[in-house]
Amino acid sequence: MSGRARRCLPALAVLAAVALAGCTRPALSRQDYRARVTGYCAAAQAEQRALPAVTDRATLLARLRRLRAINRRLTNRIARVNPPIGTDRSHDSAINIGLRTDRALGRLTAALKSSPDPAAELAGRRPALASAATNDAHRWAKLRLQGCVGGPSQALADTPAPRA
């Protein structure tokens, strides 16, 4: 090995160590994780409250599309958080709640688009939506994220029918 290579070797080792250390993020503590996710949920709930009231089919569909965007944004923000060590399954469960809600929103939006009577369609699906919201509230509580109860799945269950 030449002298020049021997002089550069320690610098390369330091550069490699810095690059590797920068690639991993430290896991959050459980309290920080809960605080961050609860903050994300609170922001999503504030966005939900700002949604326009339902007056007809067009505003109902617009509300559902916006609710789906809020849900996706919340799910993506939760997915980017680095969970505490040993809580990967709980973190995955939190993401799955958002994915289930997204699928329900998509199905409901598609059904209401093609339905001749959106109010009747929504009324027919309301028991299943309420049940899903209750199950999601229970899942959030099991994850010790009670601040997330009342999120997009609850807003979906509480969506009012359009006036005729």
Contacts of 155 (CB under 8 A, 6+ apart): 48, 51, 67
pTM of the model: 0.78
Distance CA 79, CA 144 (A): 17
Contacts of 33 (CB under 8 A, 6+ apart): 81, 83, 84, 87
Q: Which amino acid is at 39?
A: G
Structure tokens given for 28: 């959050």
- Domain extent listing, the chain: 28-157
Task: pLDDT tens for the chain, 164 residues: list them.
Answer: 676 767 777 776 676 666 655 555 677 888 898 899 999 999 999 999 898 888 888 898 999 999 999 999 999 999 998 888 878 788 888 899 999 999 999 999 999 999 999 889 998 999 998 999 888 888 888 888 888 887 788 888 888 877 75
